[in-house]
């Protein structure tokens, strides 16, 4: 009888309840729950079925929201197929250079929250969540740095560059000096040594003192404006 019931459930496409979803949450844990808006799977599916090339929408002048989904390994998605979906991803791309990447499970519950600036610089608090919204893991990407990003942006404005729109910002622990530093890179607008090249400037700033440790200019191909490290 149990076997037949199991077969009937499987044939109807039903699954055993997720233990993490059904497990009672204690009062102590309730205080740790982060209430995040769920991913609207229904609306996303409607958009993908209407236009498979759908990738997101412009919410306002300052924010573009990119949406897509992961698929099972070994498959190629030629059209939207819910049975192949492994997760949903939403990227909030702000005009000022900030980017928030949120990953959701198949129920639309948030799994991860990641923040970036200037292409791939990790910032803010990175969190992993349980299906119930409990924070399972948290990592503060800013904790080792004394200097604020606002100060770096101000330095950029003083040098006529908006790092939210162009150039690149990195920060790391220098393997040479063992100090935490910021590395800034941008196109100065001056011509380079050869045709098709421009002069790029690299500045390295000591995070603790705020002093410029290195400042150099070099000629590089124009296509490196956003992607090159040096």
Q: pLDDT per residue over 29-58, tens digit each?
A: 554 566 678 999 999 999 999 999 999 999
Q: Are residues 129 and 44 in the same domain?
A: yes
Q: Residue 10: its pLDDT value, please?
A: 36
Tokens of 190: 């001056």
Nearest to 56 by CA among 27, 91, 83, 21: 91
Q: Which of 97, 118, 140 delimits the end of a domain?
A: 140
Q: How far is CA 88 from the centre of its chain?
A: 13
Q: Which of 112, 140, 168 delimits the end of a domain?
A: 140
Q: Which of 77, 109, 140 delimits the end of a domain?
A: 140
Backbone angles phi, psi at 42, to 5 degrees: -60, -45
Statement: residue 23 has pLDDT above 70: no
Gap between the Cα atoms of 207 and 147, Å rounded: 6
Q: Residue 226: its pLDDT value, please?
A: 43
Statement: residue 205 has pLDDT above 60: yes
Whether 55 is covered by a domain: the verdict is yes
Gap between the Cα atoms of 229 and 13, Å rounded: 50
Q: How many domains is the chain built from?
A: 2
Q: Are residues 119 and 166 in the same domain?
A: no
Q: Are residues 136 and 186 in the same domain?
A: no
Q: Are residues 117 and 173 in the same domain?
A: no
Percent over 70 (pLDDT), the chain: 81
Q: Are residues 40 and 136 in the same domain?
A: yes
Q: Are residues 162 and 128 in the same domain?
A: no
Whether 1 is covered by a domain: the verdict is no
- Beta strand spans in 17-154 (E): 56-60, 63-71, 85-94, 98-104, 110-117, 121-129, 135-140
Q: Are residues 49 and 133 in the same domain?
A: yes
Nearest to 169 by CA among 143, 189, 187, 149: 149
Q: Are residues 56 and 134 in the same domain?
A: yes
Asked whether 134 and 32 are in contact (CB, 8 A), the reply is yes
Q: Are residues 159 and 213 in the same domain?
A: yes
Gap between the Cα atoms of 79 and 111, Å rounded: 25
Q: Residue 141: its pLDDT value, please?
A: 97
Q: Are residues 66 and 125 in the same domain?
A: yes
Q: Are residues 59 and 110 in the same domain?
A: yes
Q: Which tens digits make up the pLDDT trace of 47-106? A: 999 999 999 999 999 999 999 999 999 999 999 999 999 999 999 999 999 999 999 999
- The reply to whether the predicted model has a pTM over 0.85 is no
User: Using CB atoms within 10 A of its CB, is residue 64 exposed (0-12), middle (13-18) or buried (19+)?
Assistant: middle
Whether 6 is covered by a domain: the verdict is no
Q: Which domain holds residue 213?
A: 149-225
Q: Residue 13: its pLDDT value, please?
A: 40
């Amino acid at each position: 009888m149990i076997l037949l019931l199991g077969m009937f459930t499987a044939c109807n496409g039903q699954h055993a309840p997720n233990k993490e979803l059904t497990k009672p949450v204690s009062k102590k844990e309730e205080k740790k729950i982060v209430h995040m808006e769920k991913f609207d799977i229904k609306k996303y599916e409607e958009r993908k079925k209407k236009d498979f090339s759908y990738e997101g929408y412009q919410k306002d002048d300052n924010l573009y929201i990119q949406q897509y989904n992961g698929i099972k390994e070994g498959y190629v998605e030629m059209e939207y197929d819910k049975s192949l979906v492994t997760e949903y991803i939403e990227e909030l791309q702000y005009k000022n250079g900030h980017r928030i990447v949120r990953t959701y499970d198949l129920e639309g519950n948030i799994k991860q929250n990641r923040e970036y600036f200037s292409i791939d610089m990790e910032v803010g608090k990175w969190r992993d969540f349980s299906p119930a919204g409990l924070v399972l893991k948290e990592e503060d990407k800013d904790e080792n740095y004394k200097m604020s990003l606002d100060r770096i942006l101000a330095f950029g404005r003083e040098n006529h560059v908006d790092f939210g729109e162009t150039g690149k910002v990195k920060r790391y622990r220098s393997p040479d000096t063992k100090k935490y530093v910021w590395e800034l890179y941008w196109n100065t607008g001056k011509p380079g040594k050869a045709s098709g090249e421009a002069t790029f400037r690299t500045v390295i700033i000591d995070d603790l003192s705020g002093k410029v440790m290195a400042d150099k200019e070099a000629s590089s191909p124009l296509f490196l404006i956003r992607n090159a490290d040096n």
